[in-house]
Structure 1
């Protein structure tokens, strides 16, 4: 360096508050020396390197790094600079913009402290434990060094307070996914979901960021006493959308309608002999349950070999009977049965039916003298 250059540097002056640029010439444990064109090198104490606590200056800067610094003290043979002050001022301007528009940005977790996480974003940012995840986290130790997407939820420049949230980002993602799912739903769709919560009246199933209700009556083709008898929380289930109110975000689902029905499980054909239970008696016949939730009709004409006025003359509800399948239509869920045809094939039953049908032998006056009366005429 020429003498003229030295003289120019010596006359160059700085004032507190000035922002200067310089190159790092030396890194010590507790401070950094920077060439800013002053007669002596500027010094940046370790406390002025970062908004966070650091153990060694070398953790933040290296020799030959170009730094933008703020003058915080000027003496004849010493000038003290701050990187933290410049970073903070810039950071506050950016944070205020991010806070205003709800911008999502990323930051690395620098430290895990009591009550949450700390990040360096030009200023010290704090993520309370309750704002880290949507679920409870017992141990945050493995979060150090992780980069998280964050949103500013509270900002107070006077108190140097910056509260950030990772949970808010997750909540926004869930809300967006929920709306997308809601928009795509249609009655009749079959989806896979996860049982989230079980209540007395049914279960709530997550079908993609939004929950739908499976009423207890839609859990199974069989009668269900308690939903917990059929499903458990966390279980993956197939559901069918049977009701949809997008405006009020109400979704009715059915597990039952995704399962094979009672009629899908039967394997009967005309001519088969089945045993069942008389469930209902009506004027025109009897309904007999021949498989769980599958009933067939025995028309009154197919109940007995003798004429009967009502099915009640021969059958009673709850009675076990055998019947022959005359016809079956799975599509329309209809089975025609006959008890009479089994009676025709069983001589003993025929005799029993005959005995029940024939009147006791009786004489009448007409039977005895009928012919004589005709002759007298």
Structure 2
């Protein structure tokens, strides 16, 4: 039997390795861009920075001499007698299995957004790059995705194709499911008459949509205050925290109000504005049939054109100005209808000619105030509706808003 040489015996003492094999090695040297591992082979293995991770990493921060780690052999001889190793490819192989399991089980994954691309977001899970299209980032369209950079997000895998290295994530369905659950819980406990806090989500010309934590409610312009609101956008803005009263629940639609009973100015109005009392207010708005005098926030009284003066007045605007202070006598009061009629004429002494022309009830004017106000409001809203942006049409507003009596 022929004796083996020392070199032959040394070669046989080392194990045989193959490309693609996974081996365990011990770190014997480490530099920022390269580390050397003893893998039990006649040649040491070289693990470069590029084969450690897709992210640029200082290798001295992740390993030290004496550490052991599993790596994948990508070349047995690089031409210089060295074995080339890869850590990221092994991690990717294992990551593929991890992603496949998550895809099959519809598991919710968590990862940090490492790139914001033109068409969506990119995240890495166990060295596997997953793309989340912009349309699947949220349940509403978001033009600017930059806020997600370096943010931790949750998603599910909706497409798994390792052959094409195509892995698609979906965050939108998680958000939709979460909102559906919040909505279910909200409607289980929400009742008409509840006072809750919400966040203003969007403000339009006809009102504001308030996020109640599971569903949005409409705070119509007519329900924003006991007083008159001309422009909701001057009162509320997105993000405002507001206390609201649940006025009506109709299916999934919620009507809200900020007309709280304890702030109702009409509570003691019958005593403050009794018939015969003299009051002072300011001209709030004018119509052809008279002027509305604001006595306090939430209480307007009608000064009919026939009661402005003992002289004949064609139009209130001929003798009055918006904001002008007016002192008048209360000649009619209806607590149920929230109506007050005033007369300046009743404060002036009548002439003999006036006495002949008037009877004892001349100071009380009969007019359908609600009908006149509704008519005026309709005329004011018509031009606004024509100028409204396309995305906020009257039809859409009608679909959003619950049926309610908007007549004041």
Relative to the length of structure 1, the TM-score reads: 0.62
Q: Match of 2:384?
A: none
Contact map agreement 2:51 2:85 (CA 8 A) in 1: yes
Q: Does 1:85 align with 2:73?
A: no
Quote the offset at 1:158 in angstroms: 1.3
Contact map agreement 2:275 2:330 (CA 8 A) in 1: yes
Q: Deviations over 1:33-81 (max 9, x none)?
A: 222322332333433322x142644455443333222233335954333
Q: Does 1:104 align with 2:74?
A: no
Q: Match of 1:217?
A: 222
Contact map agreement 1:195 1:204 (CA 8 A) in 2: yes
- Change over 3 Å in CA distance of 1:36–1:211 after alignment to 2: same
Q: Does 1:143 align with 2:149?
A: yes
Q: Does 1:181 align with 2:193?
A: no
In 2: Cα distance, 1:336 partner to 1:88 partner? 79
Q: Match of 1:242?
A: 247
Q: Does 1:253 align with 2:256?
A: yes
Q: Match of 1:319?
A: 307
- Change over 3 Å in CA distance of 1:222–1:148 after alignment to 2: closer
- The equivalent position to 1:49 in structure 2, one of 34, 49, 52, is 52
Contact map agreement 2:198 2:210 (CA 8 A) in 1: yes
- The equivalent position to 1:74 in structure 2, one of 73, 76, 81, is 76
Q: Match of 1:204?
A: 209
Quote the offset at 1:253 in angstroms: 1.2
Quote the offset at 1:111 in angstroms: 5.5
Relative to the length of structure 2, the TM-score reads: 0.58
In 1: Cα distance, 2:59 partner to 2:210 partner? 53
RMSD across aligned positions (CA)? 4.8
Contact map agreement 1:262 1:294 (CA 8 A) in 2: no
Q: Does 1:155 align with 2:160?
A: yes
Q: Does 1:34 align with 2:34?
A: no
Quote the offset at 1:195 in angstroms: 2.6
Matched position secondary structure for 1:264: coil
Contact map agreement 1:274 1:290 (CA 8 A) in 2: no
Q: Number of residues paired by the alignment?
A: 312
Q: Deviations over 1:94-145 (max 9, x none)?
A: 11222334433333445566666544322342455836677554756x934x
Specify the structure having the higher radius of gyration (Cα). Answer: 1
Quote the offset at 1:93 in angstroms: 1.5
Q: Does 1:195 align with 2:197?
A: no
- Change over 3 Å in CA distance of 1:73–1:190 after alignment to 2: same
Runs of 4+ aligned structure 1 residues displaced above 6 Å come to 269-272, 320-326, 332-337, 352-357
Quote the offset at 1:147 in angstroms: 4.1
- Change over 3 Å in CA distance of 1:129–1:59 after alignment to 2: farther
Q: Deviations over 1:22-41 (max 9, x none)?
A: 22222244433222322332
Matched position secondary structure for 1:15: coil
Q: Does 1:23 align with 2:33?
A: no
- The equivalent position to 1:125 in structure 2, one of 122, 126, 129, is 129
Matched position secondary structure for 1:263: coil
Contact map agreement 2:91 2:127 (CA 8 A) in 1: yes
In 2: Cα distance, 1:16 partner to 1:55 partner? 25
Q: Deviations over 1:227-265 (max 9, x none)?
A: 44654444333221122134xx21111223467223136
- Change over 3 Å in CA distance of 1:213–1:348 after alignment to 2: closer
